[in-house]
Amino acid sequence: MPSKSAASSLPVVKISRRGAKRLQEGHVWVYRSDIVSATGVAPGTAVGVTDERGKFLGTALYSSASQIAIRMISSHAINDLPGLLRERIQAAISYRERVVGKDDTDAYRVIFSEADFLPGLIVDRYNDLLSLQILTQAMDAEPVREVVISELSQRLKPEAIAERVDPRIRELEQLPARPSGVVQSVGEDKKTATIFTMNGVRFHYEALEGQKTGSFLDQRENYAAAAGYAQGEALDVFCYQGGFALHLAKACSSVTGVDSSRPALEVADRNASLNNREIEWVEANAFDLLRDYADAGRRYDTIVLDPPAFAKSKANLETALRGYKELNLRALKMLRPGGILVSCCCSYHVSPAQYLEVVGSSARDVHRNLRVVENRGQAKDHPILLNVPETEYLKCVIAYVS
């Protein structure tokens, strides 16, 4: 470990008392409004951080554009950033070796940004392909990219590494536009498609298509848990490429998946064939479909709700909570006694307690009793770093209806 020293050769950013307090409380971000001075600091570089009196607080990655100006990477003075990045990548890989079951899964998040002490970097593994997302100026710097790509290649030996670019994030970070594409590849033909396995269920993966990094790895353990309680006739609402539906098919007599995206359902159907499953896919707006099905008197034994994040910011929290409530109400109306509700929420702005309240108040309104069988979160390869609340976002309530 490098020694703790104020004698860093790095440029210095001075932060306010409020910013310093935030770091003392264990957070790793300092907002732009708490920057006192950052003169001569180049965008996206490593900086030494001090309080107003000049006391050294650690090393951070600096962004000249984001509201999050400082992301701490160490409480020490770091003079060998490439060395530190390599160590952190190795540590992230070792952590996954301990928490991800190897027998039936070859897809998981390898690096989860702040939660792996690599702020601004997300890496997912899908069998022999890696998917890379760069979210900050510092991680976009050419020497940093080179270290990240070479370390990942050496350690995980993927066939290819594809970068998925979110143009909105590059704009926010004032980075030049850049297309998504393969950034490293073994052999001439840049491989972008593969088949990966989660809990023994197989999925098609196309590195440069689909949402997020292509699949919802954060639900992996929830898929398996849900399948453990599922039975009878099942409805997977907001099914995307069939993550829950395909897992439920092992245990249920029939499964219907609903999504508004046709391309997602086309992949879902290919996934069903890959696993020799018969699943009915319905392209519809989930709110309309749930209302129509409930009105038509349809009943189910298992219903999964896994909508997109309705609360993108604190400002629309109330509207979001109403949306979640409506979905839960409609699902509960259709569940037979003895049925299972799997109710998910991926909005960071809705706390686990708030979400339980939404599900509970829905049960009260339709005069049903709900017993929580499991109150779950994101899979362990998406670790929650305590003191950095933003790393915890997924809720998955599995409840028994009577």
104: tokens are 């039936």
- Touching ligand SAH, residues 246-305 (CB under 6 A): 259-261, 264, 285-287
3-state DSSP assignment of residue 386: coil
Q: Determine the size of the site formed for ligand SAH (CB under 6 A).
A: 18
- Select from 29, 126, 244, 310 the one that contacts ligand SAH (CB under 6 A): 244
Q: Which is nearer to ligand SAH, 112 or 240 (CB)?
A: 240
In the complex, least distance from residue 288 CB atom to ligand SAH, rounded to whole angstroms? 8
Rounded to whole angstroms, the Cα distance separating 16 from 149 reads: 35
Q: Which is nearer to ligand SAH, 287 or 348 (CB)?
A: 287
Residues 6+ apart with CB under 8 A from 287: 326, 327, 330
Choice from 105, 136, 219, 347 touching ligand SAH (CB under 6 A): 219
244 vs 300 by CB, closer to ligand SAH? 244
Q: How far is the CB of 210 from ligand SAH (least distance, A)?
A: 9
Query: Among 29, 238, 324, 393, which residue interacts with ligand SAH (rule: CB under 6 A)?
Result: 238
- Considering the complex, what minimum distance in angstroms separates the CB of residue 380 from ligand SAH? 17
Letter string b/e over residues 225-262, b meaning 16 or more CB atoms within 10 A of that residue's CB: bbbebbebbbbbbbbbbbbbbbbbbbbbeebbbbbbbe
Q: Scanning residues 27 to 66, which ones bind ligand SAH (CB under 6 A)?
A: none
Nearest to 119, CA basis, from 138, 93, 92: 138
The one-character DSSP state at 177 is P
Q: Which residue has the CB atom at the shortest distance from ligand SAH?
A: 243
Query: Counting contacts by CB under 6 A, is residue 205 touching ligand SAH?
Result: no
Q: Which of 28, 239, 303, 321 binds ligand SAH (CB under 6 A)?
A: 239
Q: How far is the CB of 399 from ligand SAH (least distance, A)?
A: 17
- Residue 28 or 239 having the CB closest to ligand SAH: 239
Instruction: Determine if 381 is a binding residue for ligand SAH (CB under 6 A).
Output: no
Residue 341 CB coordination number (10 Å): 27
Give the Å distances, CA to CA, from 356 to 55, 229, 235, 367, 397. 43, 19, 21, 16, 8
Task: Closer to ligand SAH by CB, 117 or 216: give it.
Answer: 216
Window of 13-21, 95-103, 118-126, 234-242 that interacts with ligand SAH by CB under 6 A? 234-242
Catalytic site includes residue 396:
no
Dihedral pair phi/psi, residue 160, rounded to 5° = -160, 155
What is the rounded CA–CA span in Å between residue 176 and residue 168?
11
- 302: CB partners within 8 A, 6+ apart: 226, 229, 230, 231, 232, 233, 234, 235, 248, 252, 339, 340, 342
Under 8 Å CB-to-CB from 327, ≥6 apart: which residues? 237, 286, 287, 290, 305, 307, 343
99-103 long-range contacts, CB within 8 A, separation 24+? 99/380, 99/381, 100/380, 100/381
C-alpha span between 68 and 182 (Å, rounded): 29
Considering 252, 345, 346, 396, which one is annotated as catalytic?
Answer: 346
Output the smallest distance, CB 234 to ligand SAH, in A: 13
Establish if 306 lies at the interface with ligand SAH (CB under 6 A). Answer: yes
By the 10 Å C-beta count (0-12 exposed, 13-18 middle, 19+ buried), 31 is classed as middle
Q: Determine, following the binding rule CB under 6 A, whether residue 338 of this chain makes contact with ligand SAH.
A: no
For residue 215, give both structure tokens: 């699949």
Provide DSSP, 353-373.
HHHHHHHHHHHHHTT--EEEE
In terms of CB distance, is 4 or 270 closer to ligand SAH?
Answer: 270
Task: Tell the residue number behind the tokens 């003895």, with chain if given.
Answer: 338
Closest contact distance (angstroms) between CB of 243 and ligand SAH is: 3
- Options 95, 240, 300, 310; binder of ligand SAH; rule CB under 6 A: 240
Q: Is 308 a binder of ligand SAH (CB under 6 A)? A: yes
**Contact pick of 158, 210, 214, 243 for ligand SAH (by CB under 6 A):** 243
Residue (31 or 287) nearer to ligand SAH, CB: 287
Q: How far is the CB of 268 from ligand SAH (least distance, A)?
A: 9
Minimal distance in Å, beta carbon 19 to ligand SAH? 35
* Residue ranges in contact with ligand SAH by CB under 6 A: 216, 219, 238-241, 243-244, 259-261, 264, 285-287, 306-308
Residues marked active site are found at 346
